[in-house]
Amino acid sequence: NPLAGRKGGHKGRARQYTSPEEIDAQLQAEKQKAREEEEQGEEDGDGAAGDPKKEKKSLDSDESEDEEDDYQQKRKGVEGLIDIENPNRVAQTTKKVTQLDLDGPKELSRREREEIEKQKAKERYMKMHLAGKTEQAKADLARLAIIRKQREEAAKKKEEEKKAKDDATLSGKRMQSLSLNK
């Protein structure tokens, strides 16, 4: 089979499954190790003098030290070896819930600002339009005036035609009545 040699990979290998008992044993070992480390840490800190840095941190609630420690821990790779002095770097300061200013004015996003401006512009345009100050409103009013004049003229013509017709019928009736009287 020519394709047999090309088929490399790990899909056909036998899988090894870890039994639940082995997993439990590993977890127990990790917990035991964590307990031992905690006990050793407590024994070291129980002395009369204790660790001055730990005492200071517990007494002093200065957050700048905590932030520096967090920054030191977050450094990855070469950053830990090289001390970088970047004047443009803005340190991320995490605010606590109690420090958040909920009453202050909210910063709107660009889309929200544009949406509000668009609505205000539309309202301003409608006010101007209703007052007859926009180009479109002026054109509409001129068109309406022309239509009114045309309708008035049409109504006058109709009225005149009606009068003429009435006059003609009246004069015709008079002629008939005169001819009958003879």
Summarize pLDDT for 139-179 with one digit per residue, the tens. Answer: 999 999 999 999 999 999 999 999 999 888 887 777 666 66
Strand ranges for 46-179 from DSSP E: none
Q: Residue 104: which pLDDT band, with cuts at 50, 70 and 90?
A: low
CA 78 remoteness from chain centre: 38
In a domain, 32, yes or no: no
In a domain, 44, yes or no: no
In a domain, 24, yes or no: no
156 vs 87: CA distance, rounded Å? 86
The predicted pLDDT at position 158 comes to 96
Average pLDDT estimate for 19-28? 93
Q: Are 91 and 71 in contact (CB under 8 A)?
A: yes
Residue 72 backbone zone (phi > 0: left; psi -120 to 50: alpha; other: beta) = alpha
In a domain, 163, yes or no: yes
Nearest Cα to Cα of residue 134 among 144, 143, 124: 124
In a domain, 167, yes or no: yes
In a domain, 2, yes or no: no
pTM, to two decimals? 0.30
Q: Could you read off the pLDDT of 2-20 as tens digits, one per residue?
A: 555 555 556 666 777 888 9
Around Cβ 145, how many Cβ atoms within 10 Å? 10
| Parent domain of 121 | 110-181
The predicted pLDDT at position 18 comes to 86
Q: Could you read off the pLDDT of 69-96 as tens digits, one per residue?
A: 555 556 666 766 777 777 787 777 787 7
In a domain, 19, yes or no: no
pLDDT beyond 60 at 108: yes
The predicted pLDDT at position 61 comes to 47
pLDDT beyond 80 at 119: yes
The widest CA-to-CA distance across the chain, in whole angstroms, is 152
Average pLDDT estimate for 113-127? 94
Q: Which residues contact 51 (CB under 8 A, 6 or more apart)?
A: 44, 45
Please count the structural domains in the chain.
1
Residue 132 backbone zone (phi > 0: left; psi -120 to 50: alpha; other: beta) = left
In a domain, 137, yes or no: yes
